[in-house]
Structure 1
Amino acid sequence: MPNTKDSTQDDPTIIVSDPTSASTPKAIDNITTSTSTMSPPENPQQAENLDDSSQVYMTGITLRLLILSVTLAVFLLLLDMSIIVTAIPQITTDFHSLVDIGWYGSAYNFSSAAFIPLAGRVYTSFKAKPTFICFLAVFALGSMICGLANSSNMLIAGRSLAGVGTSGLQNGAITMVSYAVPLQKRPLIIGVIMGIGQLGILLGPLLGGAITQYSTWRWCFYINLPALGVCVALLSFIRVPEKGRGRSTSGTRAESVIKMVLTQLDIPGFLMFAPAAIMFLLGLAFGGHEHPWNSATVIGLLIGGPALFIVFLIWERCQGDERAMFPLDMIAIREVWTSMLAGMFVIGAIVIIFAFYLPIYFQAVKGVSPFMSGLYVLPNIISSVICAMVSGVLASKLGYYVPWVVGSGALCAVAAGLVSTFGPDTPVAKWVGYQILLGARGAAFQMPMIAIQCVLPQDKLPVANALLIFAQTFGGAVFLTAAQVVFSSSLTTQLQDTGFSPARVQQIILAGANGIRQVATTERDLGLVVQAYSDSIDKVFYVGLAVSIGLFLSGWGMGWHDLRPKKSEGVLPESSSSGDEKTSSGRQEQAGGQV
């Protein structure tokens, strides 16, 4: 058994489990490693993750600092996606750039989506904490450029750079947590990160509106700088255990780093993947807005993107799983591809669709202000956060994650069906109660990440996390576009069926959800417009119902793996540990040295 005395004496908050020890602290606040000898897992791929007898983990104050830092980073990531929404009108006025309105959000999303797989390769090749800090620095630089922008083009460039920075934040957060705590404890920790992080989506428009009204829109971006500084400061006080194949860049010569970048990061694959992803996302963004869906521009983008993606997949097959950004053999594992589907449905579809269209319902149909619409969706957000935390605790205690995914899908399907009955006269009790039920989606937030960690070795997790995060991002773009098509076509049809002229219909649509009461001047017209909005939004919620069913079905394929340590019937003799040491070679590294 490896000698741990010297490797831990300088940092009492990083501990190494002893397979022969008698007891283990139970409290969540004092997360430690399993003290029991693990029985061999049935699936060979699980061996590296489930045999924790030689792992180095964090506990105490340093673990809390890590959780606080990565939670704040994920919160800022999601906040930055939505805070600009209410600032865009003032930005377009200052820069006289109404034609660029779509690029302020798209530039951020496109660059983030394009760099997510590359970020997975970066975390595989370099140590997690310094890599995470580098992504934070890029995010901060992009935010600073946005705040200092003196032209629309400069703002778009800053948003693109910020998107590159955020492409590695969620992956880095999950990767460091997987290094810092044992598998059994991860559902709770990741649930806290994802649950609290999603508050950024809700608070973004509220903060953006308040900042723009009482100060300047530039603080929508400057606000990231001190917060990101706090993240870096917190991380500077802790050492994160490093496992797997991560390599440190500290002390290496520049030419060695360059060689590693060229040989490990699949740069040719990235140069094919990035334009393929951007072309397809541009086609979705342009369709029905800048260009008709049947225009040559949109059709060319929607065909060219997938065609180039096929070429990219052929290249990835030739690369092999060790160097590929999209390892096809990894994706073929049932738990991996079903987890990608589940993540796409719950984060990329259910969260995004209802986060966008519930406020529209309250503004257009109920006639409340944007600020009040944000308050009205609080039951949904609070319920989701609570469900994420509760499911994390119970998954850690009971050992299984599939029931929470399946149950979340079933409850979300019921809730989406109930929410689709919303109308102009829906009472408070119903729209509050139905939103609370819809918050059951939170129970599934972290489970796809946990499922992947059950079947893959530690050195594969950064790439697997990147696949999952890309599925969420890509799914969000696709399903949000689908929802927008359903909403726009339904609203146009219903307004035309009420007898409004084409010019009048266009005027009502351009007024937006918060402006229909200014263009619909008579009580009759307002009633017709409100009803058309209500019916169209209800049809969007049918899309939410469909993806909830998809979440329910995909959850069954994520594997019934027990997260709890498996105790052997007796204590293994000391000589038996040699095999475990051999199996765990390369995984006993902690920050600062070898165990």
Structure 2
Amino acid sequence: MGANAGEHTSDGAVHGRRLAFIFTGLLLAMFVNSLSETIAATALPTIVGDLGGVEMMQWISTAYILVSTVVMPVYGKISDLYNRKYVIMVALALYALGKAVCGMAVNMEMLICGRCLSGLGGGGLGILAYAIISDVVPPRKLGAYMGIMGAVFTTSNVLGPVLGGWFVQVPGWRWIFWFTIPLAGLALAALGVFLPRRTAQKKRAVIDYAGAALLGLSVTALVLASAWGGALYAWDSWEIIGLFALCVASAVAFVLVERRATEPVMPLTLFRNRNFVLCAVTSLIIDVAFMGTVTYLPTYFQIVDEMSPELAGLMDVPMSIGIFITSTASGFIAARTGKYKWMLVASSAIAAVGFFLMSTLQVHEAFWLPLVFLFILGFGIGFGMQILTLVVQNEFPHAMVGAATAAYNFFSEIGSVLGASLIGTLFTSRLTAALSATLPATDNISVAHITPALMDKLPASAQAVIAQGYSDALVPLFLWFVPMVAATVVMMALVKQHPLATTINHGGTKPLRRPSSSRQDTNRPLPPDSPTR
């Protein structure tokens, strides 16, 4: 379908109805991808009970995270080299195919294979959505759209556990996977019809297979070490030490390969940009703290405050509301004023306050208090959630937007993985030590088998000891996050506020290499619309 008059400009910007359909397709792609992270959580016991293989349960989540993280930088680079329209359509098709395999699974092995396949597509949906919207909207106006995308991301995270619980109880757990397929199909159709086909950046692209393989090996070793350390193997075991050593060795080899690659999968020039490094590190730290918080709070509320699973899941809603408000508002503020640095500083500062407040929680705290604390935490995180991505995309020439967005999201995802795994290990080890020292040996209670149902059957004295143990194991960890997040306040204060570009095909904010005093640096990427091209 061709664009109507006034809906497409020579710079590539899209307006009117066509932009609305494109944006709707991108929102659907983001919605189904982020929904997949949470919708299956409440159904895991039912799925494992139906298919068997409880020892493989962690791989239902780990497989998706691992594959999607590995392919993120690859999607970003390929989308810069080839047409992003077809790349995201392939990603949506792979995602839907993986969900179909999950829905038809007859055993855990088939389910995990389906999760890997859906992760192969899902790993590109988020970064491609952000890259594509930058293809049709200039950075100066981009903040408003990113704010809405952040709101959709937050909404899907809240709806995930609720929808998952409903599907398990009414049509059955398989509909958790079937449900997202028609939504992915609608997104594919909208983007296929309305998204403009753009000329590939390179006529003869050389795929960096060696770099992609080494990056994948490094990430795989890190994810496995984080998932298995302290659980399947001791942290000082040769298996975990070997995985960390493999991660470091692969990362070093990756850097050496990227320095010589014609089209590096993650260009090292990104790391010469001050704002990119500051934003990437800040995102990694925030996601470590954020995932370490949201992953274990529902269990905390069930054990410590004796809430039902449904109510415990809804306790995160105030945090999601806070994120929704500020992620949406910050995007519109950036679009209207062109100012963003103050929001980045405010985001980290308010988040640090939120984590400090969370560290003051007590056993059987007043019901409303954690709701207020979580709202403050979400209010802070939301301020910077979309602005960080906007800053990264504004820093580089449009020809590098895909790679830059993918690299930024890659570090964000690494933070999420480390937060969920490392904080989980610390929480479990602290809980085990606390209960081993306080529970009477005659109670014969295993930490690994403590559930809300078991708590109801225990005497009041044992319940009090376990509740206090959970509180002592988790709540102090929130205080550990305060100096980490406070460090990001300083980082955000060091961000240079460059003007947001007003055109799609901009040339970035500065040279990627420092120019010589005697001549202009010929390695500086030129804007695609430069007359010298």
TM-score by length of 2: 0.90
1:426 aligned partner, one-letter code: E
**1:274 and 2:216 correspond:** yes
**Equivalent residues of 2:427, 2:474 under 8 A apart:** yes
Residue 144 (structure 1) shift: 0.5
Q: 1:275 to 1:502 in 2, by over 3 A?
A: farther
Moved more, 125-134 or 194-203: 194-203
Q: CA deviation at 1:300?
A: 1.1
The counterpart of 1:163, out of the listed 119, 122, 147, is 119
* Letter of the structure 2 residue corresponding to residue 355 of structure 1: V
Percent of counterpart pairs with the same letter? 25
Shift of 1:152: 1.3
Tell me the alpha carbon deviations over residues 205-244 of structure 1, each in whole angstroms, 9 at most, x when there is no partner. Answer: 2222221122221111111111111112222341337477
Provide the rounded CA distance (Å) in 2 between the counterparts of 1:433 and 1:386: 15
Query: For the Cα contact (< 8 Å) 1:120–1:464, is it kept in 2?
Result: yes
Matched, 1:133 2:126: no
**Which residue of 456, 464, 473 maps to 1:527?**
464
1:329 aligns with 2:285: no
Tell me, yes or no, if structure 1 residue 12 matches structure 2 residue 8. no
Tell me, what secondary structure is at the counterpart of 1:422?
Answer: coil
CA distance in 1, matches of 2:449, 2:495: 44
Partner of residue 80, structure 1: 36
1:424-451 deviation per Cα after TM superposition (whole angstroms, max 9, x unaligned): 2322332222122112210101122111
Q: Is the 1:72–1:197 contact (alpha carbons within 8 Å) kept by the matching residues of 2?
A: no
Bigger Cα displacement from structure 2, 373-382 vs 103-112 = 373-382
- Quote the residue 2:306 is aligned against: 367
Structure 1 equivalent of residue 482 of structure 2: 545
Q: Please say if residues 37 and 157 of structure 2, whose CA atoms lie closer than 8 Å, have aligned partners that are also in contact.
A: yes
In 2, the alpha carbon distance for the partners of 1:308 and 1:503 equals 48
SS in 2 for 1:284: helix
1:288 is aligned to: 230
1:101 aligned to 2:57? yes
CA distance in 1, matches of 2:483, 2:32: 30
Cα distance in 2 for partners of 1:133, 1:311 equals 32
Partner residue in 2 for 1:317: 259
| 183-192 or 135-144, which deviates more | 183-192
Maintained 8 Å contact 2:398/2:527: no
Q: Which stretch shows the higher mean deviation, 206-215 or 130-139?
A: 206-215
CA distance in 2, matches of 1:245, 1:380: 41
d(CA) in 2 for partners of 1:206, 1:191:
24
Give how far 1:557 is off: 3.1
> SS where residue 41 of structure 2 aligns?
coil
| Counterpart amino acid of residue 47 in structure 2 | I
Does residue 410 (structure 1) correspond to residue 363 (structure 2)? The answer is no
Given that residues 83 and 204 in structure 1 are in contact (C-alpha distance below 8 angstroms), is that contact kept between their aligned partners in structure 2? yes
Q: Pick one of 230, 237, 248 that aligns with 2:186.
A: 230
Q: How does 1:239-258 map to 2 (within 5 A)?
A: 239-240=195-196, 242=198, 245=201
**Contact kept? 1:97, 1:152, Cα under 8 Å:** yes
Q: Secondary structure at the match of 1:198?
A: helix
* Counterpart position of 2:245: 303
| Displacement after TM superposition at 1:516 (Å) | 4.7
Worse-superposed segment, 103-112 or 190-199: 190-199
**1:9 Cα deviation (Å)?**
9.1
CA contact (8 A) 1:354 1:544 kept: no
- Structure 2 unaligned segments of length 5 or more: list them: 504-524
What is the Cα deviation at residue 455 of structure 1? 1.8
CA distance in 2, matches of 1:544, 1:191: 26
Amino acid at match of 1:480: A
Q: Distance in 2 between matches of 1:344 and 1:443?
A: 16
Distance in 1 between residues matched to 2:479 and 2:345, nearest whole Å: 19
In 2, the alpha carbon distance for the partners of 1:13 and 1:285 equals: 52
1:485 matches 2:425: yes
> Would the alpha carbon gap of residues 167 and 113 (structure 1) be closer, same or farther in structure 2, given more than 3 Å must change?
same
Secondary structure in 2 aligned to 1:14?
coil
CA distance in 1 between counterparts of 2:478 and 2:25 reads 35
Q: 2:323 aligns with which of 384, 387, 411?
A: 384
Q: Which moved more, 1:273-282 or 1:495-504?
A: 495-504
Give the whole-Å Cα distance in 2 for the aligned partners of 1:128 and 1:362.
43
**Paired residues of 1:187 and 1:447 also in contact (CA < 8 A):** yes
**Pairwise CA distance, 1:281:** 0.9
Report the alpha carbon displacement of residue 193 of structure 1 after superposing the two structures with TM. Answer: 0.6
The corresponding residue for 1:563 is: 500
1:409·1:441 contact (CA, 8 Å) conserved in 2? yes
| Aligned equivalents of 1:546, 1:195: Cα separation in 2 | 28
Indicate the residue corresponding to 1:31 in structure 2: none
CA RMSD of aligned residues (A): 2.3
Specify whether residues 9 and 528 from structure 1 end up closer, same or farther in structure 2 by C-alpha distance, changes over 3 A only.
closer
Aligned twin of 2:158: 202
Measure the CA separation in 1 of the matches of 2:174 and 2:488.
39
Q: How far 1:329 moved relative to its partner?
A: 2.1
Distance 1:10 1:116, change over 3 A: closer
> Deviation at 1:56?
2.4
CA contact (8 A) 2:28 2:187 kept: yes
1:185 is displaced (CA, Å) by: 1.2
Q: Aligned partners of 1:218 and 1:9: how far apart in 2? A: 39
**For 1:547 and 1:223, how far apart are their aligned partners in 2?**
39
TM-fit CA distance, 1:420: 1.4
Residue 489 of structure 1: how far off its partner (Å): 2.0
The 5 Å alignment of 1:117-196 reads: 117-196=73-152
Taking a change above 3 Å as real, the CA distance of residues 444 and 243 of structure 1, as seen in their structure-2 partners, is farther
Contact 2:229 2:425 in 1 (8 A): no
How many angstroms apart in 1 are the aligned matches of 2:91 and 2:159? 23
Between the aligned partners of 1:226 and 1:277, the Cα distance in structure 2 is 31
* CA separation of 1:208 and 1:394: change in aligned 2, threshold 3 A: same
Tell me by how many angstroms 1:515 deviates. 4.0
- Please tell me whether the aligned partners of residues 121 and 264 of structure 1 are also in contact (alpha carbons under 8 angstroms): no
Amino acid at match of 1:433: V
Indicate if the aligned counterparts of 1:13 and 1:62 stay in contact, CA closer than 8 A.
no
CA–CA distance in 1 between the matches of 2:6 and 2:100? Answer: 35
| Partners of 2:368 and 2:59 in 1: CA distance | 39
Asked whether the equivalents of residues 318 and 374 of structure 2 are also in contact (C-alpha less than 8 Å), the reply is: yes
Distance (whole Å) between structure 1 residues aligned to residue 75 and residue 480 of structure 2: 31
